[in-house]
Each structure stands twice: as C-alpha cells, then as structure tokens.
C-alpha cells in the first residue's frame, strides 16, 4: 500500500524507467544484435544486484523458519503405501 502521493508518483516513475529499459533492449536487439544488448543488460543487472545486496544489509534480519518437527513413527502419513504393480497378494 502506498502511503503518500509523492511515493505513488515515485513508484510510477520507477515503473516507467524499467519499461524504458525494456524498450531500449528491444530496440538495441533489433539494431545492434544480441551481443551488445546482452552486454548492456548484464551491466544493468550487475549494478542492480550490487545495490540489492547493499539494501538487504540495511534491512533487519528475519528469523529463519523452524524446521518441521519430525513425525512420530506411528503417524499414519508415514505408513507405507501399497504399490499398484506389486506381485504381493497375487495368486
């Protein structure tokens, strides 16, 4: 949820910037080929990943999910299931 009109405007601006990157990539692909387009997109992705890593370091750490408790041996979900192609029980 967006809290203020300024935030909403900034988000719209960022969406437009990313849309423009997509348009530039399409144009570059048509005019310059895959190699040049991929090189530029890799540079952009590298910088985004670098910024994302720095941003994550500023966020409070979240506790890791607790591993699921082991089921008891008598849990029906752990019972062996009959195999449909088993020869057991055939005369």
> pLDDT for 4-27, tens place per residue?
889 999 999 999 999 999 999 999
Cα–Cα distances (Å) from 54 to 7, 11, 44, in that order, read 22, 20, 16
Q: How far apart are CA 50 and CA 67, in angstroms?
A: 31
Phi then psi for 89, rounded to 5 degrees? 85, 0
Average pLDDT over the chain reads 80
Give the tens place of pLDDT for each residue, 34-69: 999 999 999 999 999 999 999 999 998 876 666 565
Q: What is the pLDDT of residue 83?
A: 52
The domain segmentation of the chain, as residue ranges, is 5-59
Phi then psi for 59, rounded to 5 degrees? -85, 150
């Amino acid at each position: 949820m967006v809290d203020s009109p300024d935030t909403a405007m900034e988000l719209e601006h960022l969406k437009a910037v990313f849309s423009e990157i997509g348009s530039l990539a399409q144009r570059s692909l048509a005019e310059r080929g895959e190699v040049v387009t991929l090189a530029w997109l890799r540079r952009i992705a590298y910088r985004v990943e670098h910024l994302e890593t720095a941003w994550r370091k500023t966020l409070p750490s979240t506790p890791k999910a607790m591993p699921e408790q082991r089921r008891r041996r008598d849990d029906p979900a752990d019972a062996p299931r009959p195999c449909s192609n088993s020869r057991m029980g055939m005369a």
